[in-house]
Amino acid sequence: MKPKTAVTPTRDEDYPEWYQQVIKVGELAEHSPVRGCMVIKPWGYALWENIQAYLDRKFKETGHENAYFPLFIPLSYLEKEAKHVEGFAKECAVVTHHRLTEKEGKLVPDGELEEPLVVRPTSEMIIGDMFSKWIESHRDLPLLINQWANVVRWEMRTRLFLRTAEFLWQEGHTAHATEEEARAETLQMLDIYVEFAEKVLAMPVIRGEKTESERFPGAVATYCFEGMMQDGKALQAGTSHFLGQNFSKAQNITYQDKEGNESFAWTTSWGVTTRLIGGLIMVHGDDDGLVLPPRIASAQIVILPLIHKPEAKETVLSYCRALQEKLQKIAYHGKPLTAKVDDRDIRSGEKVWGWIKKGVPI
């Protein structure tokens, strides 16, 4: 007799559909009315917040600062770096008008822009333009910037978290005085990603350099880390790019060196996305739903009060809250444990299975 599972189909029966069902029963995300875009639900977004918290701390420990740059990029900016625009041209969403007017009872675009605006697929060109203004002397280097943002790449075949038209990410952009320093930065950020994947997500990964045909458009070298999923396929989980002087030459990012000579800066870019959550699902999930490593879970322990008599309710809840308070005084990897009391007025069995599907550790 086939054992009962919380997720149907199982991994062995239909792995792609199992993945979609884990996201559904785990209340991580769902499809939005906009084709190819997703709504990340609170349980799923909490995972992204924990990813942000860990990586943001690591970025700041290594001297990087957060900034924010426009969602819209003038088309002419992308045209400055031929290989770059060629690599993203088929995925770009483009804004051509700046208002709507009513015509025969329907809203139609009006007010054509003098120059089309590309909705950010990545920010090398707009950030590089600002770098060219901010950098004058070798004293301004290195310039280490990170941005937490959303991007749009018009994907035709989408899957929640793994490949969507809009997704959340962080993108780091740095400028350096020497090639050696820029290459070291590229590998340092890859190290941070790998450490996070293996120690926090408990996801074993393989790091390496991409072939020329798979490089980031315009990069000299692209390094990545990939995890092996339960279906035997590798998932690219993040990348770090050594851009050489390609982008600085395209955008005139120059500085005056110690001898007074004008030189082009050496630049890098690196990033991870909400795809990490997809990898987390496919590495750890089972036929009962999501399975979360404790360091990434937003609730590490859930306490389920079992109330058999109405008159015992307050006594049981009081005990559970006292236990919650004790647990939250325990340190785990330098932070207090997170414990939650589920006092919802629903059946105990429903609570148990609900948290199993969501992958809570205890």
pLDDT digits (tens, 9 = 90+) for 349-362: 999 999 999 999 99
pLDDT tier at 1, thresholds 50, 70, 90? low
Give the helix/strand (H/E) hosting 144. strand 143-152
Distance of CA 182 to the CA centre of its chain: 23
Judge whether residue 94 has pLDDT over 80.
yes
Predicted pLDDT at 156 = 81
Percent of the chain's residues with pLDDT above 90: 91
Tell me what the mean pLDDT of segment 226-239 comes to. 97
Domain boundaries, the chain: 15-284, 301-358
- What is the band of 87 on the pLDDT scale with cuts at 50, 70, 90? confident
Query: In this structure, are residues 284 and 293 in contact, taking their beta carbons and an 8 Å threshold?
Result: yes
pLDDT at 62: 98
From CA 283, how far away is CA 42, in angstroms rounded?
Answer: 21
Residue among 356, 181, 182 at smallest CA distance from 285: 356
Query: Is the separation of the CB atoms in 230 and 284 below 8 Å?
Result: no
- pLDDT digit string (tens) for 154-192? 988 899 999 999 999 999 999 999 999 999 999 999 999
Give 270's pLDDT tier (boundaries 50, 70, 90). Answer: very high
Q: Nearest to residue 116, comparing CAs of 146, 156, 72, 152?
A: 72
**Long-range contacts of range 9-15, CB-CB < 8 Å, 24 or more positions apart?**
10/287, 11/230, 11/231, 11/285, 11/286, 11/287, 15/230, 15/231
Per-residue burial over 308-347, b if 16 or more Cβ lie within 10 Å, else e, is: eeeeeeeeeeeebeeebeebeeeeeeeeebbbbbbeeeee
Task: Give yes or no for residue 14 having a pLDDT over 80.
Answer: yes
Residue 41 phi/psi, 5-degree rounding, is -80, 165
Rounded mean pLDDT of the chain? Answer: 95
What are the residue ranges of helices labelled H in the chain? 15-25, 42-61, 75-78, 82-88, 124-134, 179-199, 246-251, 275-284, 313-327, 348-358
Q: What is the rounded CA–CA span in Å between residue 110 and residue 98?
A: 7
pLDDT at 82: 66
Strand 301-303 to 339-341 pairing = parallel
Instruction: Name the residue among 274, 233, 286 with its Cα closest to residue 18.
Output: 286
Superfamily grouping for domain 15-284: Bira Bifunctional Protein; Domain 2 (3.30.930.10)
Name the H helices within 213-254.
246-251
Cβ distance 256 to 285 under 8 Å?
no
pLDDT at 88: 76
Sign of CA dihedral 282, 285, 287, 290: negative
pLDDT (tens digit per residue) in 299-334: 999 999 999 888 999 999 999 999 999 999 999 999
- Determine the longest span between alpha carbons in the chain, in angstroms: 83
Q: How many CB atoms lie within 10 A of CB 266?
A: 28
Greater confidence (80 vs 76) lies with: 76
